[in-house]
Amino acid sequence: MNCFLILSMAVIASLKADLLMEIKPPDIIIGLTRQLSINCSFIRTDITNMVKLISLVVMRSNETDTLNFYYQASVDVFDGLNNVTGVVSGLIDNRHESYITLTWSNPRSTLTGWYSCQANGENLSGQVVTLSKTAKVKITNPTIEDLLDVLERQSFALELQSSKFELQASQLSKLQYDFEHMGSSVHEKCVCCDTLNSSLKSLYHISALHNGSRYYLSPASTILLMKEAEIQCEFMGGYLTEMDSEEEYLFVKSFLKNNTGYITVYTGGNDGAFENNWVNTYSKTPVKYIKWGQGQPSGGTANNCLALWRDYDWTAVSLKCYQGVVSDSRGYLCEVPEP
């Protein structure tokens, strides 16, 4: 199927009520929207001059000024269903209703843009007639409420499940996106705050008090994106561990050794802004103490997050801030100061 079409919207016949396009939901909240579906349906009525429907085609434009539509999926009387994305279903039924539905699970930002649904058919004299509808899929940043909602559902669900870490993984790992705009205001609006807070904390291994802080070792398998870890640390009143001295490092190392099970434990520290300039993710101050492991840091600009590595005797390594799969050998360490 030839997938590139440039259409001028002007030549397409004006909209008729026969053709309906529904986008559910019209706003994608990355990480939180579970499913996006585009449903385009056609019923012939008296107002249309299209007597025979031949195809329904869904197209998308990722530009806003000039609409360059690219083929996404179609259903037609000769060829049935075709698609280049999503999961497609549909049929052409000239006596009743025809439709095409495109569905994506866990939609990403690459799906935003204008969508057009075209109905191609013939009029009474056998000439080609085209009807079309357009609608927009937008991306919305998650609000604090959205995140809290997820955390809340997660913590209630956790109480009901024995395989609790698995569940947390499958829910939180969906938050594969940048929560940049909400990190600092995470405390502002909170429903069930205390319950949520204490049920979150109950998932962590908590160290003894050391120089004013406790260290919270996360449950396994929870995190794909370090931003999620940051948010969870902040929610509990802390931040990803900021290593200020050798003394602090030795305490942390001893704590990790005593609670083995993981191979990798992320701490705070990021060199995404300037290569090899390690900055505490939360405080934005330079990381004061790093005991690098053998051959570290490695990975250059691909590896911008700091972690401690068991097999290098819990010395520091640079890793990706995003992991493609959940793992029960990976965790992160929050530092929560106490008054």
Ligand X SMILES: *[C@@H]1O[C@H](CO)[C@@H](O)[C@H](O)[C@H]1NC(C)=O
Residues of the shown chain interacting with ligand X in the complex, contacts defined by CB under 6 A = 20, 39, 41, 49, 62-63, 70, 81, 83-85, 87-88, 97, 99, 101, 123-125, 127, 187, 190, 193, 197, 207-208, 211-212, 235-237, 244-245, 247-248, 251, 254-255, 258
Whole-angstrom Cα distance, residue 103 to residue 114?
A: 16
Sequence-ordered list of residues with C-beta below 8 angstroms from that of 199, at least 6 positions apart, any chain: 155, 158, 159
- How big is the chain by its Cα radius of gyration, in Å? 26
Q: How far is the CB of 274 from ligand X (least distance, A)?
A: 25
Q: Which of 133, 326, 157 is nearest to 229 (CA)?
A: 326
Q: How far is the CB of 108 from ligand X (least distance, A)?
A: 13
Q: Which residue of the chain is nearest ligand X when measured via CB?
A: 237
Whole-angstrom Cα distance, residue 237 to residue 262?
A: 24
Q: Which is nearer to ligand X, 260 or 276 (CB)?
A: 260
Q: Which residues sit opposite 332 in a β-bridge?
A: 266
Q: Which is nearer to ligand X, 174 or 214 (CB)?
A: 214
Q: How far is the CB of 309 from ligand X (least distance, A)?
A: 18
Q: Which is nearer to ligand X, 153 or 187 (CB)?
A: 187
Q: Which is nearer to ligand X, 170 or 197 (CB)?
A: 197
Query: How would you label 196-220 residue by residue, b for 16+ Cβ within 10 Å and e otherwise?
Result: bbebbbebbbebeeeeebbbbbbbb
Sequence-ordered list of residues with C-beta below 8 angstroms from that of 326, at least 6 positions apart, any chain: 169, 173, 221, 222, 223, 224
Q: Which is nearer to ligand X, 67 or 306 (CB)?
A: 67
Structure tokens at 52: 């025979």
Gap between the terminal Cα atoms of the chain = 65
Q: How far is the CB of 244 from ligand X (least distance, A)?
A: 6
Q: How far is the CB of 303 from ligand X (least distance, A)?
A: 27
- Tokens 């001059």 sit at which residue? 49
Q: How far is the CB of 324 from ligand X (least distance, A)?
A: 19
Q: Which is nearer to ligand X, 88 or 226 (CB)?
A: 88
Q: How far is the CB of 74 from ligand X (least distance, A)?
A: 11
Structure tokens at 258: 């005593």
**DSSP-derived pairing of the beta strands 305-309 and 205-206:** unpaired
Q: Which is nearer to ligand X, 165 or 251 (CB)?
A: 251
Cis bond upstream, residue 297 (ω within 30): yes
